[in-house]
A and B are shown apart, each in its own frame.
Chain A
Amino acid sequence: MRDSFQLGNRFHHAFLTGFLLALPSVAWLLHHLVSEVPPRFTPTNFDSTFAAKTEPSWLDSHTLRWSESKKNRQLWATATFDETGISLRAFENEKLFHSLYPGYPLQEFQTKIVPQYFSKSFDQRAWIAPLAKQTPYGAVTYRPSTACVSIFKNFGADILIFGDSTTMRALELSMLSQQLSPSSPARVLSCATGGMLPETMQLIASDLSRTSHRVKWVVVDINRLPGYPQTPGYLQEIKRQAALFLEEGQLSTNSWIEWMERARAKSLFPSVTWDVLFPANLQKLLSAREGVKMIQQPVVRPDEIVVPTSVDGTSLAQWAKSQERRTGPAKEPILPCPTQNFSEQIDSLVGALTEFSENILLWIGPTTPLYHYKFGSCSPKEIQTVLESRARGKVQALTVGWKTYDLNYQDFLFERSTLPKTRIDIAHVNFEGAKKITQQIVQKLKSQPGTVVTKL
């Protein structure tokens, strides 16, 4: 008998037929159902007490249920489904807008910028001083980094910021703007986004250099360079995306985003995860489907450490020291420090930024020693050496390490909406920490020739 594939008896035949027929229909059905089901408020993802506590007086009464907020597009604060609790609509409140985009005109912004960046499709959360001041830990928010290209093309900027989530949390933009230029706030534009890699920075920089605008300073946080540990698959995916982007040649960032969005919408099983999307600048606000997924996100992120409630402010340092002893530094690094690789990446990034910037400040958003022990593969000394070797001409470097900024674990302490409440975020500072860091950045920029003191 010829050895070939046989369909078997009726059961097997029917099973395979049923499987193949059901696969697309089930996928379509589930996709449809999941997209339509709105996220629900449950004790896991939303704590009403927390929302009430965190909202300042001018924000209360605006946090409504999903269905209501969908109906009323005028709302500028709606509940989200992660620990931040609140999503903000930047154009609905002038004060809010200026803390997000200091130095920019609100009215023109509304008319000139591509509206979809600020529709519900994109994340509009940001570090907001008025919010943060009224809470012990601040409100963590993000900007649509994709919009920064359009904003730059339309308005330009005085200071441009690149970096990852560490940068986003470490710099208080309105403070930076006002302290550099008290009379008329400088236009500070942040293109930072969670997990932004140098490849992405370079892509954006290439896009920005094609405009006629020039900036005074580009502040580049290269936190992601020193061998940031990710799985090999992650890096491959990023590189693949970057290569695809470059292959597209003349495609603008906007077209790229649209293309990616279309591809993603068509994809039945999106292979790109949020982690991958972030560096590709597709920082989309949670749609209904993603909102549902957010509910299932870990309560405590891998870069957070739960602090026992018995540990108070004075004993925090001691407690953190014990954690440091347990975690490292003897622990083996996940990847060896790729000094050579990131030196080349810095050079190439600086080359791209020089095209449209008068000065460049290279720095590393400070994290805790615990973060370094857990994730870092390069010692601060190694990074410092590389940074300092690049500091010449229009390029400046800021000393690495949290001591430079007078930070301590208190500056990384957060209180969350979900249990366990008190945690140290080993990678991101709270509002108090952000103020200290911003102050140092201001000092550094002011100390350089061509100090930014007036409207740029």
Chain B
Amino acid sequence: MIYSSPDFILLCLLTWVGYILFPQKGVRLSLLLVSSLLFISWSGLLHLLVFLGVVTVAWIPICLSHTTPARTQRVITWAISAIGLNLIVWKYLPWIYSEVSRIFPVLQGTETFSLPLPLGISFFTLQGIAFLIDFRRNQIPAPTAPLYLLFKGFFAQLVAGPIVRHDQLMPQLQSLRSPQARDCVFGLSLFVMGMAKKLLIADRISPYVDTVFATPSAFNRTTLCLAALGYTVQIWGDFSGYTDMGRGAARLFGFHLPENFLSPYFSIKPSEFWRRWHITLSQWIRDYLYTPLALAAHRKSRWHFLGAVILTMVLVGLWHGANWTFVVFGFYHGSLLVLERGIITNRQLQRLRCLAPRWVTVLSCWLLFFFATVMGMVLFRSESIAQASEYFGSLVLTPGDAGVANSQGFSILAATILTLVLHAIFYYSFIKGDWIFLSWFGKKLEGVFERSRVEPEKIAEWVGYGTGAVTALIWVATLFFRSTSYSPPFIYFQF
């Protein structure tokens, strides 16, 4: 069940109606639990069993903390190891096996060893580990079992994040307050925008990108560049669209889930990019992996510290999937971070800024880093190192001669421009806090309304009707103009 499917919309709607009709906390909790478990089991019993297994293992130390507090610390360590091992088995074992059997062919059997990837395992594993570490640090109280189960399995954040922490969601689950009209307005808008990003931007580009990445050596440089750019846009539309849908669905019930993307392609340096791209993952990595590693390394030497940065990013890469391409992707971004932190000093940057106006420096840095991001995405998209090498080889050394229709190329460029425009709107409206568009319109309209003596409340009402209708239009148009013949799954489902 994916968020854009009618099944999910129906499930969400029915749960919401029940949630509104029954304000009793017990009923609401049960309703959300049943819906969440139904959501997981929709993909298969195995997914549900693996999820419940992880929840049970993570719940044991919390349970023991009441009866035998002295042993809790040790049990938490065991529980974290078990959850981590579970992830390794389902996600990495087939890959490890294939790599080992490649080195030792004698181990290779007649059949390929493979395991299905349980739904959202990478996400709920990280969430569970974070919870247990915080619990060990005595930062959080022990919740009740149903609450903990809902915290881990709430359908709006289970499959592909955001990776919600205890303090972000648990208090809301404890209060289970009624959603208000503003929650529904915001939730609906977010859900519709997310769906439009996924179905109208990401899915439209996908066929082009898939075609080129299937045989990169056949295509010319322009096509290869456009495909790399296309994938950069596609993965943003896909993942941020999915997150928006999840956050929107949660907001319909009055839950605020954390933002996961803050105009990432407007970043001018690698560290900024990771503060804006998949923010909840970056924060998790920062708090539970990077900080302990970096602190330990910093005491030894600068080089150890830079090594810790690279190691962290390699693990971030590997988290995305069991493939060498993700390892290289992590190493690549780690190297960019090292370059930023270890080599280019603030003084050198100051000198650069003296040479040219600020906007030139910012624009140059942005262009340079955007290019680096696009190239990194080639690694991310490639199915193997050989394919990535083939792609870069064709791009730099021996391009093919095939191209694709101009209209397809234009659609990639149009999608890129649209993406950057959406970034700009979000950036200036939410990050910078300058509501420049609205204030400009406001000033223009101010005089008109003053002359017509319309009440401000009336204006708000009209704007409400208008934006509601436009949101409905975008939703219906998204469903009408989606590609019915080619609808790739969410990219982050595989992670």
Binding site for B on A (CB under 8 A): 2-23, 26-27, 30-31, 34, 42-44, 231-233, 269-271, 273-275, 293-294, 296-300, 302, 304-310, 323, 326, 329-333, 336, 418-422
Contacts and interface: CB of A to CB of B under 8 A. Distances in A.
Contacts of B23: 2-4
Contacts of B179: 5
Contacts of B467: 15, 18
A299 B20 contact: no
Contacts of B486: 297-298, 302
Contact of B112 (A233, A293, A300, A330): A330
Contact of A19 (B402, B460, B469): B469
Contact of A8 (B182, B407, B457, B475): B182
B384 A12 contact: no
Contact of B408 (A27, A299, A308): A299
A26 B43 contact: no
Contacts of B408: 44, 299
A307 B466 CA distance: 50
B472 A26 contact: yes
Nearest to A297: B485
A310 B398 CA distance: 12
Contacts of B407: 42-44
B368 interface: no
Interface in B328-348: none
A18 B457 contact: no
A14 B387 contact: no
Interface of B is mostly: helix
Given A6-B180, A273-B484, A293-B485, A16 B468 contact: yes
A232 B5 CA distance: 13
Nearest to B400: A308
B255 to A, nearest CB: 15
A5 B469 contact: no
A293 B479 contact: no
B194 to A, nearest CB: 16
Contact of A6 (B98, B181, B218, B404): B181
A26 B483 contact: no
Task: Give the top 10 A-B pairs by smallest Cβ distance, nearest first.
Answer: A14-B464, A18-B468, A298-B207, A8-B181, A12-B181, A22-B469, A19-B468, A22-B472, A18-B465, A420-B402
Given A3-B23, A21-B468, 4 more contacts: A5-B179, A12-B464, A27-B476, A34-B480
A418 B405 contact: yes
Given A23-B475, A333-B114, A30 B218 contact: no
Interface in B131-188: 177-182, 184-185, 188
Given A6-B181, A293-B483, A420-B402, A21 B469 contact: yes
Interface stretch (B62-70, B208-216, B271-279, B299-307): B208-216
B473 A26 contact: yes
A19, A232, A275, A309: most-surrounded residue (chain B CB, <10 A): A19
Given A16-B185, A308-B400, A332-B112, A11 B461 contact: yes
B401 A23 contact: no
B219 A16 contact: no
Interface string B1-38: 10001100000000000001001000000000000000
Contacts of A8: 180-182, 185
11 contacts: A6-B181, A12-B182, A269-B6, A271-B6, A294-B485, A297-B207, A299-B208, A299-B404, A330-B112, A419-B402, A422-B402
A19 B487 contact: no
Nearest to A295: B407
Contacts of B403: 419-420
Interface size class on chain B is 35 or more
B460 A11 contact: yes
A245 B486 CA distance: 26
A42 to B, nearest CB: 7
Contacts of B180: 5-6, 8, 12
Contacts of B464: 10-15, 17-18
Contacts of B489: 231
B181 A7 contact: yes
Contact of A309 (B401, B463, B487): B401
A19 B186 CA distance: 12
A296 B483 contact: yes
Contacts of A294: 485
B462 interface: yes
Given A11-B460, A30-B480, A308-B217, A3 B473 contact: no
A441 to B, nearest CB: 30
Contact of B484 (A274, A304, A323): A274
A255 B178 CA distance: 47
Contacts of A6: 178, 180-181
Given A273-B487, A306-B211, A5 B178 contact: yes
A420 B218 contact: yes
B211 A9 contact: no
B51 to A, nearest CB: 16
Contacts of B98: 330, 332
B355 interface: no
A8 B1 CA distance: 32
Contacts of A270: 484
Contacts of A302: 210, 486
Contact of A22 (B177, B404, B473): B473
Contacts of A298: 206-208, 210-211, 483, 485-486
Contact of B178 (A3, A323, A418): A3
Contacts of B477: 26, 30
Given A10-B461, A18-B464, A18-B468, A296 B219 contact: no
Interface in B394-431: 400-408
A233 B44 CA distance: 10
A42 B405 CA distance: 11
Contacts of B384: 326
Contact of A12 (B114, B185, B485): B185
B204 interface: yes
Contact of A300 (B207, B386, B481): B207
A235 B406 CA distance: 36
Given A22-B468, A299-B405, A4 B178 contact: yes
B84 interface: no
B361 interface: no
B471 interface: yes
Contacts of B457: 10
A336 B6 CA distance: 28
B94 interface: yes
A300 B223 CA distance: 14
A274 B487 CA distance: 11
A420 B224 CA distance: 13
Contacts of A323: 215
Nearest to A294: B485
Contact of B219 (A19, A418, A420): A420
A305 B485 contact: no
Contacts of A232: 43-44
Interface in B215-263: 215, 217-219
Contacts of B476: 23, 26-27, 30
A336 B480 CA distance: 35
A307 B479 CA distance: 34
Nearest to B94: A332
A125 to B, nearest CB: 16
B472 A19 contact: yes
A336 B485 contact: no
A49 B212 CA distance: 24
A409 B218 CA distance: 17
